[in-house]
């Protein structure tokens, strides 16, 4: 088929929407010049804590052309995971993104279908799919692709949808008309900074990852520091505080992805159910969940720390 660069956009966007993505944007696969010094400083200040992988592949993290030969375009996509379903009120808290099936599997399936569609409809297009598991600065590309702005909590915020979404990328060797970044709409609001239980948002647009509850409950493999004892806000996996208080999330609407529906037992479990959690129950409730990343011992450590 004979398409122009501009018609590629609408073709790809339409298919992305059919696959369930809420937004799709395009940016030129180029060196992230603005992000390079910020990333270097953040790493030098050890704000990645024990997340050693953040310091790996520095060059690839900043230049998608080192990940895909001949890369010309980064296609950024958003997949909504917001839900108004809630856990039992006395249960230790789980981040909303982990209620259902592990997003890595769900999104990779969709991205592979999208890449196949592009190859079938447009022709020989080479590319790779990325979901938070390779050195790709997804929020930076989301900003460049016009999908939102970087909030003061360093989450990508979309004016129509808030921030409860996953970000994914297709990096392809097809030239496509690019989108323009949008304006920052945080204004004078400091709700996320004021609400952070561990003061991990050390300045507007800067998070010390080594102080974040998500870091303590997911990334940290050793013991959680005792000084965090009264600051965990009852979170056992991840943390949604800076998103829950963000005014833009009043525009969040429930997702329609069946694979994100939580296991029926998950929302009913109360405080004592969690404290008495067995490995069998863990395997049943979190069979395909991102929570498996902490393993049973890790989740038990988190729950016991909250006692």
Instruction: Give catalytic residues, as residue numbers.
Output: 132
Q: Going by C-beta distance under 8 Å and a sequence separation of 6 or more, which residues neighbour residue 196?
A: 153, 241, 242
Note whether 163 and 157 are within 8 A (CB).
Answer: yes
Note whether 234 and 89 are within 8 A (CB).
Answer: no
With the C-alpha atoms ordered 301, 81, 61, 246, is the resulting torsion angle positive or negative?
Answer: negative
Q: How far apart are CA 104 and CA 98, in angstroms?
A: 11
């Amino acid at each position: 088929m004979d398409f122009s660069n501009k018609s590629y956009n609408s073709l790809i966007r339409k298919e992305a929407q059919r696959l369930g993505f809420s937004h799709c944007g395009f940016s030129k696969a180029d060196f992230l010049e603005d992000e390079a010094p910020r990333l270097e400083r953040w790493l030098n200040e050890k704000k990645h804590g024990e997340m050693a992988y953040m310091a790996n592949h520095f060059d690839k993290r900043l230049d998608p052309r080192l990940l895909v030969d001949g890369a010309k375009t980064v296609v950024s996509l958003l997949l909504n995971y917001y839900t108004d379903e809630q856990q039992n009120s006395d249960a230790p808290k789980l981040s909303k993104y982990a209620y259902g099936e592990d997003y890595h599997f769900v999104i990779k399936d969709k991205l592979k279908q999208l890449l196949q569609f592009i190859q079938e409809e447009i022709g020989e297009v080479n590319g790779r799919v990325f979901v938070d598991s390779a050195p790709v600065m997804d929020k930076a590309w989301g900003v460049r692709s016009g999908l939102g702005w970087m909030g003061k909590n360093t989450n990508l915020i979309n004016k129509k949808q808030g921030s409860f979404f996953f970000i994914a990328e297709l990096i392809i060797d097809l030239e496509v008309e690019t989108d323009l970044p949008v304006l920052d709409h945080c204004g004078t609001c400091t709700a996320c900074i004021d609400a952070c239980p561990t003061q991990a948002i050390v300045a507007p647009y800067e998070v010390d990852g080594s102080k974040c509850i998500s870091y303590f409950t997911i990334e940290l493999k050793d013991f959680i520091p005792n000084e965090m004892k009264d600051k965990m806000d009852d979170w056992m996996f991840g943390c949604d505080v800076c998103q829950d208080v963000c005014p833009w999330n009043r525009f969040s609407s429930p997702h329609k992805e069946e694979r994100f529906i939580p296991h029926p037992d998950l929302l009913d479990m109360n405080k004592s159910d969690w404290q008495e959690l067995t490995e069998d129950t863990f395997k049943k409730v979190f069979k395909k969940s991102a929570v498996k990343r902490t393993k049973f011992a890790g989740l038990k450590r988190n729950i016991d720390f909250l006692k």
